[in-house]
Each structure stands twice: as C-alpha cells, then as structure tokens.
Homo-oligomer: A and B are copies of this chain.
C-alpha cells in the first residue's frame, strides 16, 4: 500500500505538500494536479490510524442499546447510522442486553478506542462512568443536567392515550405496565395518563409493579381476573409499551374478551418490524427518525463544542389501529 511518502516522491514534492492536498489546504494549482495524479497512479489511500494518532479523531461513534434485535431499537439504530453516515461518521453497534457491566465495558471501549462520542439508551446506573471525558448523548434517560438527553414527550403521550380512550367512548380506563426505578420515560407515560384523568375527573385504575417480569405477570393475572373475568369493569387500557399491549390483548382473547368491542387498548412506541410494515394496534408513536436525527446533531454539537440544548423533548402522535373504535 502506497504511503504519503511514495506519493510525494512520485509527484516530486514534499510530504507536507501531499498532506495539504489531502486536507484541502491551498497549494499552487499545478502542484495540486501533480499530486492528485500521483495519488491516482499509486492508488494511494490515507492511513486513518496514522491520522487518528495525530489528530485524535476517528469519526466513529459507539451506539449502545439494550439489543438491536427489537423493532424499536433497530429502527432507531437504522436511522442513527444513516445520519452518522451523512456526516461521514461510522457507527459501532453495542448490544448491552441491559447489563450494566456490559454498558460500562462498552463505554470504556469507546474511550479507549478514541471514539468521537457515544449515543446510548441505557436503563442502569452508569452515571459515574458517563464523564465529561467523552461526548455523550442519552436517549430516553435523564442522567444529570450536564448530560444531553433526547426523549419523546412521554408525559404528553400518556395524556394523549387517556384522551383518545375517552374520545373513543371508554368510561373506565386503566394504565398497565411494569415500572422501573430508573426509567423515567415510562414513569412519565403513567404520570401523563393520570394527569389527564384527574384534570377531567375520570376514574382510572393502575396496574403497575416495580419488580421482575414474573412478578408483574402474576399481578397482571390478578388484575385481569378482577376486572375482566366475571364482568368487564374496565373498557379502556393504556399499556406502557406496544409489547405490553400485545401481551395484554392476547390474555383478553384467552378469556374471550373482544378487542376493541369490549375493551379498547392503546400501546406506546409505534415501532414496526421493517420500513414497509404496517401499524397494527392503536398506539402512541415515538418520532424515531427525529430522535435519531436530534441525537446525532446533539452529539456533533458537543464534539464541536457548540452551544446546544441539553434537553430535547420531541412530539409524539397517536396512530389509530384496530384496537380502538
């Protein structure tokens, strides 16, 4: 593989001059032509590692998320990669599996590899590792006022879900979802839901648990037994994610409760398995593409040390599917 030195010799100039041509620093036009011809002739390509060593930039961003094997994250990652590529950056994919140790390892890897920044979706306590030492953008999760974070408007989403259920004729509505000590995104969905209900004097129930998936299942079974088995006491449900919604709907089907005739259901996320997929259940859709775009923009602003908003909340919207009337 030809090096800059070879090109310089071939063109009859000094390496510094070649470097200037490569980096678009003005040189005499004739010289430029000479150099460019030599580059073409020798099929020269700059060595990014030598360059990285000098300028300490790699045009590489680590994207940490629980797992790419999930429609929401794969859609997000797809869009993030697209945005990064547009600005000439590369994306390292990191599946943390929500494992704190993994997340920490990935962060350390990113620092070690002199990556230019990190975009992360994480639900564990990694506050102390997220230093100012590497540009960091958090999606969905608030760390501290110093860490930029991008999120969709979960509170408004919860409100909207309640509103849409009521609009669709529901009289007794409920929120269901497994909570988390750390994930404020889902908490805000619940708060939005409650907020709408209190403001409008609407009766509501909450089926929530901050615990393991198994414990939540048990709670959910009880909740269904209580409210849907003998007599249908609740006719509208807002599930904290589409997956919870889907799971809930299946349980209703099992006891022959019809959706949306007997019970209407709204989920949250609105992610599809692939770009031409259709929306199926009624849901509050997160603006995934915009989230990706804003995350990348924010990261670049941090890298370039430009002023930026530390907190970006993006608008959600309602998508009607078959689970509401």
Q: Are A50 and B48 in contact (CB under 8 A)?
A: no
Whether A124 sits at the interface, judged by CB under 8 Å, is: no
Which among B46, B47, B53, B94 is the interface contact of A50 at CB below 8 angstroms? B53
Nearest chain B CB to A110 CB, angstrom units: 10
Complex CA–CA separation, A129 to B196 (angstroms): 58
Q: Are B47 and A114 in contact (CB under 8 A)?
A: yes
Whether A31 sits at the interface, judged by CB under 8 Å, is: no
Question: Which candidate, A66-74, A198-206, A221-229, is the interface stretch facing chain B?
Answer: A66-74
Copies in the complex: 2
Complex CA–CA separation, A69 to B271 (angstroms): 10
Nearest chain B CB to A52 CB, angstrom units: 4
Q: Are B275 and A45 in contact (CB under 8 A)?
A: no
Question: Which candidate, A6-14, A76-84, A312-320, is the interface stretch facing chain B?
Answer: A76-84
Q: Are B77 and A70 in contact (CB under 8 A)?
A: no
Q: Are A75 and B81 in contact (CB under 8 A)?
A: no
Q: Are A81 and B93 in contact (CB under 8 A)?
A: yes
Bitwise interface map of A from 38 to 67 toward B, beta carbon under 8 Å scored 1, else 0:
000000011111101100101010010001
From 241 to 288 in chain A, residues with beta carbon under 8 angstroms from any chain B beta carbon are: 243, 273-275
Which among B53, B78, B93 is the interface contact of A67 at CB below 8 angstroms? B78
Q: Are A69 and B108 in contact (CB under 8 A)?
A: no
Q: Are B77 and A68 in contact (CB under 8 A)?
A: yes
Q: Are A45 and B81 in contact (CB under 8 A)?
A: no
Complex CA–CA separation, A68 to B207 (angstroms): 34
25 contacts between A and B (CB under 8 A): A49-B49, A49-B52, A49-B114, A63-B93, A67-B78, A67-B274, A67-B275, A68-B68, A68-B74, A68-B77, A68-B78, A69-B78, A69-B275, A70-B74, A70-B273, A70-B274, A71-B71, A71-B273, A74-B74, A82-B95, A90-B92, A90-B113, A92-B92, A243-B274, A273-B273
